[in-house]
Structure 1
Amino acid sequence: MRRTTRVATAALAALLLGACGTNTGASDDGTDGGDTADAASVVTADDCADPDAATAEITDTLKVGWSAPLSGPLADAVGNVIAGMEARFAVANDEGGIDGVQLEVVTRDDAFNPERAKANVGELIQSEGVDVLDTFGSGQLSAMADDQTDACVPLLFAQASVPAYRDVEQYPWTTEYLPSAEVEAQVVVESLTAQYPDGATVAMAVNQSESGQGIADAYRDAFEGTDFELVGEAPLTDPNTAASTLKATGAQILVDAGVTTDCLALTNAIGRAGWAPETVIQPSNCADGATLYAPAGEAADGQQILRWLKDPANPAFADDPDVQQYLEQAQANGADDPTNSYTVNGWVIADLMVDVFTQAADSEDGLSRLSIMQAARTQDYAPPMFIDGISYQMSPTQSFGILAFEPYTWNAAAAEFESAGDVVDISSRYQ
């Protein structure tokens, strides 16, 4: 039976359309205007352990070093991210690279262990001589950020959402790709207000990693002062126990404050428990329908998610020329599963990097770690694989990146996501 999630997401667009807006920071001639100068004042080499390394011209090869869980339960998803990234870099390299500089991905396995990620940073910087870093997970980012900041090596588009590293003054050399948990929770709670004007009861399943705790904290803050009552929380250490515990609360709404591996596991668990909450909200990092929703059958029907990427597996995008080009190029350059949302994710992160590297190379100082970071701080770019109307927006004072979403619900019978409203853009709130 279809649950009422579709009503909530459809109402979201109507509720927030009045707040829609875009802050591009660009002048009429396509330049960044004053933002570039502002970025130069925010990101400097003055406090770098090796200022000369930060400002040295990058020649021949630009290395991007990844510390990521290449083993363990997240390995398949991360493997697709890396494959998508390598495919996009291959396209750039075939087109001449960045003013002749070729792009290379260097990986180190951290098994989703923050201490291993911290050790990987030293190896990637010292032994591999990487020019840019990336990582997967909020705990990993937390373990890496101080050393990476001291070394003045840009850490771009981290697959994390922890709020602390969006503080431009404290971490000027770090950006995150995933939407801020604060922003995502805010949008979801406003959508729930449209569906439940008199409030409702909420249960939350929480992954015990820093990623999960960050999402949970954001929802607790977003629910505070509303008519929604958080009547129960349970750790996702054992999804079956969590489902049974939370079912006993009788909550109308279930929020999954989890990571990729939790989404299907929790859905299967509530199905086994015979619990069908009126509304189930999944985190935006659980985006792949084929692997995270379809296997759960009817138990996943109507689950809500906010998305920003086009889905090449969805017939709604079959005629999209950007999707068609992506599929052709990704397949031609070694991406074995191009319709997988994590492959798309990796491709888009690489596409965002190519845009940053190009802007840095075109700057007066040429391509260097410093110019890369300054370009990243003023980026305003809509990757072709972003849903139309959504872009990645940064400024020297604003580090949120993604501030727009399209609401979707999962249709179990059709085994695909369905749009549940127009793109909701709240960027005007963060100008």
Structure 2
Amino acid sequence: MTDTEIRFGMAAPFSGPAREMGHQLKLGVDLAFAQANDEGGVHGRQLKLVTADDAYEPNRTLNAMKELYEQQKVFGFVENYGSPTALISVPFALERHALYFGAFSGAPSLRRDPPDRYVFNYRAGYAEEADAIVHYLVRNRRLRPQDIGVLTQQDAYGEAGWEGVTKAMRTLRGGVPGEVFRMSYNRNTVNVDEAIAQLRRQRPAIKAVVLVATFRAAAKFIEKTRDLYPDMIYATISGVGSTGLASELMVLGPHYADGVICTQVTPAVDGYATVTMKYKNALAKYFPGEPADYSSLEAYLTASILIEGLRRAGPALDTESLVNVLESMQNYELGLGPKVSFGPSDHQALHKVWGTQLDKSGQYHAIDLE
């Protein structure tokens, strides 16, 4: 931070299979920063985002964090990507008392009780999303808990989703634990063949799969199982990268996209909520040609909350004063429906989960999860 600039860092994948996610998250933060800078910045300081590529590989995350903190001299971190990478980047930030704001992860490692002082989240946790999916499948689609299986990525992201599903299952069974059919695949791959072999051996056959996967692996699993199980219900959580998933499935054909459920941590990108319209208008102004995307919308909302915190903290800014201000933020109206609040015991801005479902044209439509 200088008299004229506040610099934030983002460690995310800008190469490798998840690179599109890095692009979308950077786009969303850049969008919010560009808007704020055009309005004079924050107390005369311009906001700048610098990035480092870890390719969604935890063994590269430490070097990415060091590059941002030691070489780029960032004030804090915003919208870092990934749950397995957070196991490296969060301790790095905490040891340096650096702000770690709004990571694209719903993992419990970022949601300790009580919360780590410098870690703040925008989104609902993966456990909350998984809980919403399981209850929807049982309550609205009339499935039994034993009819539902899970495909998980073999890492902290997959484990977080798995824990959410199994916890929801226990609740539905009155607290009695029961076996849940689980398949898995290696992170940063689309090798789902063994998972499909497990599915084919499973008796009795399941009727729905909760996919705790990234979009290419999820699409590959759907591609290879849709015709084998034409009545299967596929449900994913927001960590999948829902826009990427829709695109991958539409390449395969409308048959593969139709009916796929995805929980979201933002309002619908094709909706008319004020904050969504503001995002799309800014996208057309600053990045014409870039389509609206759930991931960039999430990053835009995350950065917008951060900017509000910076404004409230005043010109004499440091990390401790900013954390104090964020912990006092109550009922901030961002236009999401639920208001944004933090507190010393709750560093998660929202707990809301929205439901969407794909149609044959590859468009998401709102569904009621209640």
Q: Same fold (TM over 0.5)?
A: yes
- Distance between the aligned counterparts of 1:169 and 1:324, measured in 2? 35
**2:221 equivalent to 1:274:** no
**2:347 equivalent to 1:376:** no
The aligned counterpart of 1:45 is none
Preserved CA contact (<8 Å) 2:5 2:47: yes
- Distance between the aligned counterparts of 2:332 and 2:19, measured in 1? 29
What is the Cα deviation at residue 282 of structure 1? 0.6
User: How do 1:25-424 and structure 2 match up within 5 A?
Assistant: 59-134=3-78, 135-167=80-112, 169=114, 171-195=116-140, 196=142, 199-224=145-170, 226-227=172-173, 230-237=179-186, 238-249=191-202, 250-271=205-226, 274-286=228-240, 287-288=242-243, 290-296=246-252, 297-312=254-269, 314=270, 317=271, 320-334=273-287, 336-361=289-314, 366-379=316-329, 380-384=331-335, 386=336, 389-412=337-360, 414-421=361-368
* Paired letter, 1:157: G
Preserved CA contact (<8 Å) 1:193 1:199: yes
Preserved CA contact (<8 Å) 2:8 2:50: yes
- Distance between the aligned counterparts of 1:400 and 1:305, measured in 2? 21
* Paired letter, 1:270: T
Preserved CA contact (<8 Å) 1:390 1:405: no
* Paired letter, 2:105: A
**Alpha-carbon spacing, 1:178–1:270, altered in 2? closer, same or farther (3 Å):** farther
- Distance between the aligned counterparts of 2:144 and 2:23, measured in 1? 44
**Alpha-carbon spacing, 1:81–1:253, altered in 2? closer, same or farther (3 Å):** same
Preserved CA contact (<8 Å) 2:151 2:182: yes
Preserved CA contact (<8 Å) 2:149 2:209: yes
- Distance between the aligned counterparts of 1:164 and 1:84, measured in 2? 24
Preserved CA contact (<8 Å) 1:110 1:116: yes
- Distance between the aligned counterparts of 2:275 and 2:115, measured in 1? 37
- Distance between the aligned counterparts of 2:50 and 2:295, measured in 1? 18
**Alpha-carbon spacing, 1:163–1:324, altered in 2? closer, same or farther (3 Å):** closer
Unmatched 5+ stretches in structure 2: none
- Distance between the aligned counterparts of 2:29 and 2:322, measured in 1? 18
- Distance between the aligned counterparts of 2:148 and 2:20, measured in 1? 32
What is the Cα deviation at residue 354 of structure 1? 1.1
Q: Which has the higher contact order (CA 8 A, sep 6+)?
A: 1
Deviations 1:39-87 (A, max 9, x none): xxxxxxxxxxxxxxxxxx8632111101111110111221122022112
* Paired letter, 2:346: Q
Name the Cα RMSD after superposition: 2.5
Preserved CA contact (<8 Å) 2:61 2:89: yes
* Greater Rg by CA: 1
- Distance between the aligned counterparts of 1:410 and 1:202, measured in 2? 20
* Paired letter, 1:301: D
* Paired letter, 2:284: Q
- Distance between the aligned counterparts of 1:123 and 1:72, measured in 2? 19
Preserved CA contact (<8 Å) 1:337 1:343: no
- Distance between the aligned counterparts of 2:276 and 2:165, measured in 1? 33
The aligned counterpart of 1:5 is none
- Distance between the aligned counterparts of 2:110 and 2:367, measured in 1? 31
- Distance between the aligned counterparts of 1:260 and 1:374, measured in 2? 37
**3-state SS of the aligned residue for 2:102?**
strand
- Distance between the aligned counterparts of 2:274 and 2:163, measured in 1? 40
Preserved CA contact (<8 Å) 1:335 1:343: no
What is the Cα deviation at residue 231 of structure 1? 4.8
* Paired letter, 1:257: V
What is the Cα deviation at residue 95 of structure 1? 0.4
* Paired letter, 1:251: I
Percent of paired sites with the same residue = 17
Q: Which moved more, 1:81-90 or 1:245-254?
A: 245-254
Deviations 1:271-297 (A, max 9, x none): 2x5223543211122321642543342
- Distance between the aligned counterparts of 1:281 and 1:337, measured in 2? 27
**Alpha-carbon spacing, 1:377–1:266, altered in 2? closer, same or farther (3 Å):** farther
Unmatched 5+ stretches in structure 1: 1-56, 425-431
Q: How many residues align?
A: 355
What is the Cα deviation at residue 323 of structure 1? 3.6
